[in-house]
Amino acid sequence: MMFVLSSPSGAGKTTLTKKLAANNTNFTISISHTTREPRPNEINGKDYYFINKEEFNSLIKGNHFYEYAKIFDNYYCTLKDPILKFLSLGKDVLFDIDWQGTQQLKKVKNLSIVTFFILPPNIQALKERLLNRHKGQEKLIGKRMNKFNEETSHWNEYNYVFVNDNLDTCYEKILNVIECEKRGEKHYQNRNEIEEKVKKLVE
Ligand code: ADP
Ligand code: 5GP
């Protein structure tokens, strides 16, 4: 099966995706291609495949992708072949992609996809997380914060929505849903409560 995690930037989806893969041997993470510059701690081929615009354009022209999107002036894409290979090996694949990519992935036929939207507990915590990740880069942080409302407006396109306040608690909730879905069961969530939470966040 395929499990997608999306969120406004800094809410914690990459951390959660990595924790899921680190603790569950059947999960593998889809490694995206991007034209973004690597961050100091990022490794090519592990966090992303870092490519230039020409290489990106040729992947798109060759129709090798499931989805692609332009986000914060950079391009990101998910290639088909590695995903098909993982699925054929019986692996569950985790995706850390945005709402644009999720919309495209959901349109692909014969894929079994469950989607999660991750929210921060509040705006202050989100800002602190971004400050922590991008020390001193106020402009970049501002850009990502400005996108918060737009990104969060897509929460209702997702099967499940969780608040990443305490990392371990949020992780357990996601894992529990994945285990339910793997058994063919749905997990109930009160969408009205989520809507109220979202309203408070975007005020
Ligand atoms: P995203 O992938 O959604 O942009 P990250 O996973 O990179 O976000 O997380 C942003 C920052 O917040 C990272 O420095 C990460 O270590 C931290 N972080 C993630 N989850 C939590 C949490 N529950 N509590 C505190 N810090 C967190
Ligand atoms: P970052 O630059 O912080 O790693 O990621 C920025 C945004 O791009 C995040 O929302 C992340 O989920 C998204 N992203 C990463 N890889 C892909 C991808 O292959 N496709 C799409 N559509 N979004 C991606």
For ligand 1, whether the C-beta of 11 sits within 6 Å is: yes
For ligand 1, whether the C-beta of 133 sits within 6 Å is: yes
pLDDT above 90 for 38: yes
Predicted local distance difference test score (pLDDT) of residue 72: 87
Residues 81-107 have a mean pLDDT of 97
Distance 77 CA to ligand 2 centre (A): 8
pLDDT above 90 for 20: yes
Which ligand sits nearest to residue 32's alpha carbon?
A: 2
In DSSP notation, 125-193 reads HHHHHHHHHSTT-HHHHHHHHHTHHHHHTTGGGSSEEEE-SSHHHHHHHHHHHHHHHHTT------HHH
If you average pLDDT over every residue of the chain, what do you get?
96
Angle at 169 between CA 166 and CA 170, to 5 degrees: 85
Distance between the two ends of the chain, CA-based, in angstroms? Answer: 36
Which ligand sits nearest to residue 166's alpha carbon?
A: 1
pLDDT above 90 for 203: no
Predicted local distance difference test score (pLDDT) of residue 153: 97
Whose alpha carbon is nearest atom 2 of ligand 1?
14
Query: Candidates 5, 32, 70, 78: which one to mutate for ligand 2, based on the most atoms within 8 Å of Cβ?
Result: 32
pLDDT above 90: percentage of residues in the chain: 97
For ligand 1, whether the C-beta of 144 sits within 6 Å is: no
Residues 18-30 have a mean pLDDT of 96
Predicted local distance difference test score (pLDDT) of residue 99: 98
pLDDT above 90 for 136: no
Residues 179-186 have a mean pLDDT of 96
Whose alpha carbon is nearest atom 26 of ligand 1?
129
Residues 2-28 have a mean pLDDT of 96
Task: Enumerate the H helices of 27-137 as residue ranges.
Answer: 53-61, 80-88, 99-107, 123-133
Predicted local distance difference test score (pLDDT) of residue 22: 97
